[in-house]
């Protein structure tokens, strides 16, 4: 029986990099954002059902995320319709991953794990974290959003302190080496516990 580890953390905390470290330790990884990309791609599972509701969002046989964002900004109620199509498809993608994976530890990289109640289906949760000034510097260094956009996203997410308090493990991602050491310790701890179960 595989151990299910939820991996979460707010924007700019280093979650994607940390997720890869778990893979390096022999864990299998399911990435919620990657699942959305798969179902939005040409011939993806979301193309036909989303096209039925918002035909203008389909370009070259794939879902155009920019058009979806525009639709939501013009009509906030559209988000519920989109989520009612996308969430079940993402859940099915996750279920399929669980059915196919054979590794002893399955890591689920889900940014809004607590916000969506996804933590209830996990054996444990690890949260990535850094001080707020490092978080902001990382996001702004990407050059993909303004400080206002960052603040808006951060305001929608559960506060970092609350995520840390609700998690079984906290990974401080101030340096790559420090993060890797913590990931290795978590994996070793889970494997020890599994062997004694």
**What is the SS3 assignment for 71-122?**
HHHHCCCHHHHHHHHHHHHHHHHHHHHHHHCCCCEEEEECCCCCCCCHHHHC
Residue 128: exposure state from Cβ atoms within 10 A (0-12, 13-18, ≥19): buried
pLDDT at 103 over 80: yes
Q: Give percent above pLDDT 70 in the chain.
A: 99
Structural domains of the chain, count: 2
Residues 170 and 112 in one domain: yes
Residue burial 59-89, b: 16+ Cβ < 10 Å; e: rest: eeebbbeeebeebbeeeeebeeebeebbeeb
Look up the domain containing 157 and give its range: 1-27+104-197
Residues 178 and 115 in one domain: yes
Q: Would you place residue 197 in the very low, low, confident or very high pLDDT band (cuts 50, 70, 90)? A: low
What CATH number is attached to the domain comprising 158?
Answer: 3.40.50.300
Residues 38 and 92 in one domain: yes
Task: Name the 3-class secondary structure at 169.
Answer: strand
- Write the pLDDT tens digit of every residue in 137-169: 999 999 888 999 888 888 888 999 999 999 999
Given phi > 0 = left and psi -120 to 50 = alpha, else beta, which region is 159? beta
Q: Would you place residue 196 in the very low, low, confident or very high pLDDT band (cuts 50, 70, 90)? A: confident
Domain boundary (77, 102, 127) is at 102
Mean pLDDT, residues 111-131 taken together = 94
Residues 55 and 135 in one domain: no
Residues 14 and 90 in one domain: no
Residues 98 and 118 in one domain: no
Give pTM, 2 decimals: 0.90
Domain boundary (58, 86, 102) is at 102
Domain boundary (81, 102, 123) is at 102
The residues, any chain, with a CB within 8 Å of residue 106's CB and separated by 6 or more, are 2, 3, 4, 5, 27, 28, 29, 30, 97, 98
Residues 143 and 173 in one domain: yes
CA separation for the pair 180, 129 (Å, rounded): 13
């Amino acid at each position: 029986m595989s151990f299910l580890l939820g991996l979460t953390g707010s924007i700019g905390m280093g979650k994607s990099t940390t997720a890869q470290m778990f893979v390096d330790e022999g864990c299998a990884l399911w990435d919620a954002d990657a699942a959305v990309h798969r179902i939005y791609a040409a011939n993806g599972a979301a193309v036909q059902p989303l096209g039925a509701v918002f035909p203008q969002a389909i370009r070259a046989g794939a879902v155009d995320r920019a058009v979806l964002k525009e639709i939501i900004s013009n009509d906030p109620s559209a988000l519920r319709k989109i989520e009612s199509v996308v969430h079940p498809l993402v859940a099915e993608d996750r279920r399929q991953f669980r059915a196919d994976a054979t590794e002893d530890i399955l890591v689920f990289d889900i940014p809004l794990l607590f916000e969506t109640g996804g933590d209830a289906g996990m054996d444990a949760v690890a949260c990535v974290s850094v001080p707020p000034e490092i978080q902001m510097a990382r996001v702004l260094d990407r050059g993909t959003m303004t400080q206002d956009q960052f603040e808006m996203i951060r305001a929608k997410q559960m506060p970092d302190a609350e995520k840390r308090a609700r998690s079984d493990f906290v990974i401080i991602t101030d340096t790559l080496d420090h993060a890797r050491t913590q990931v290795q310790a978590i994996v070793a701890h889970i494997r020890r516990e599994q062997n004694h179960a």
